[in-house]
Amino acid sequence: MIDTKIQPLNYVKPLSERSSAYDFRSLDISQNNYDWDKLLSSEFLEQFLFNSKTKFLSSIASKFTERLEVAKNRGLGINALHKKGYTGKGATVAIIDQPLLTTHNEIKDKLIHYEEVDEHKSWSNEASQHGIAVSSILCGKNIGVAPDAKLVYFCVSDTNTDNYINAIDRVIKYNEEHPENKIHTLSISYAIPTENKEQEKRLLDIMQKAQESDIFVITTSLEKTHNFSFIGGDRNINNNLDNPQEYKEPLFIQKRNLSSNNKNSDTKNTLIVPQDRVTVASPIGNEDYTYYSDGGMSWAVPYLAGIYAVAKNSFPEITPEKFFDIAIKTGLEKEICGRKCSIINSENIIKTLEFENASDKILNKQNNNNNIILDNTNDR
């Protein structure tokens, strides 16, 4: 999973059977004799994977530069929140993921703790494409959902479950050791394994311990830990990225050709956040970025974590349950593959919390005034 230079292609081919993307990362294809008219059609353009070091034919390079920049926009009201001052300033977030490029401009000034947690180490310490990507989505200085949040990072070079258990335990201990930078949001782009029931129980137990310490552990398996249903969604990169109408089922579902008539018996609403057609920080250089057409749930987790971190920082009494309930109710309702879904609207979440906070203050003031009147009456 290391983002390294790929040998030049003699022809354009998919990355894998799972992916429909065409991988041009770090390639010089400025002289290649591709059928560019065909490749630039919407059918192919929507499937490109490239980075800021990819060299395209000069006549069409601007199309990719523009796409790389546009896709840095996290969308669905995030920029509007930032303009209102909701940037996560004062919050500390944590990530457990693969080796990180700690010097990238997106995170170098906000990384306050970096620690390796390896029970069964097998990977290289070379910076992975995954770690810097999720970090930039969550709290990147220029492209993050919570751009002013501080970052605590626990590196697991191996996906062994013991590493995640130990890393979550380290997050809990970090809060005990550093109360001035208390973590309330932990992002792990990871699915809870089920093949080993003993390990699964240990993992769920440590996540429950974190929850009891007021840490929201956000994984791709929230249905197991919080009974929440959420997935990442695809978006139309050519249109308004703040418009929830431009979002739909993720690419991995589209590829399965699931019919909207396939009704899901689960009546719970599913929250959808962006995951596809996004630009993230790249490990190939401190100022480099990669555009992914098919992001996968790995990119959805830090987005959701970023919004929660912003909300929790401004409204400390919020819980994961209340946050998710508001997110479902204030999002755009949409049926996707027979399931009731709600496209997240970060601006509406904060507006709702602002309204509730103001209402509570008015109610408290009225109660205090009533108490004063009663006291004065008793004095008579």
Confidence of residue 255 (pLDDT cuts 50, 70, 90): low
Q: Write down the mean pLDDT value for the chain.
A: 85
Q: Are 241 and 226 in contact (CB under 8 A)?
A: no
Q: For residue 12, is pLDDT > 60?
A: no
What is the C-alpha to C-alpha distance for residues 41 and 22, in angstroms, rounded to an integer?
13
Residue-wise pLDDT tens digits, 37-85: 777 766 566 677 899 999 988 888 888 899 999 999 999 999 999 999 9
Q: How far apart are CA 162 and CA 118, in angstroms?
A: 8
CB-CB contact of 16 with 32 (8 Å)? no
Highest mean pLDDT among 27-36, 37-46, 174-183, 255-264: 174-183
Q: How far is CA 254 from CA 69, 234, 247, 248, in A?
A: 25, 9, 13, 9
Give percent of the chain above pLDDT 90: 62
pLDDT in tens, 205-223: 999 999 999 999 999 999 9
Amino acid at 48: F
Cα separation of 94 and 171, whole Å? 8
Token match 């309702």: residue? 333
Q: Please give the pLDDT value at position 5.
A: 32
Confidence grade of residue 265 (pLDDT, cut at 50, 70, 90): very low
Going through the chain in order, the beta strands assigned E by DSSP cover: 22-23, 48-51, 92-97, 111-116, 150-155, 183-187, 216-218, 230-235, 247-248, 270-274, 278-281, 289-292, 332-336, 339-343
pLDDT (0 to 100) of residue 69: 96
Q: Does residue 264 carry a pLDDT above 60?
A: no
pTM beyond 0.95: no
Q: Give the span between the Cα atoms of 260 and 240, in whole angstroms.
A: 25
- Maximum Cα–Cα distance across the chain: 96
| Residue 89 reports pLDDT greater than 90 | yes
Per the structure block, which two tokens stand in for 326?
């508001």
Could you give all domains of the chain from N- to C-terminal order, each with its CATH number? 22-70 (no CATH), 78-355 (3.40.50.200)
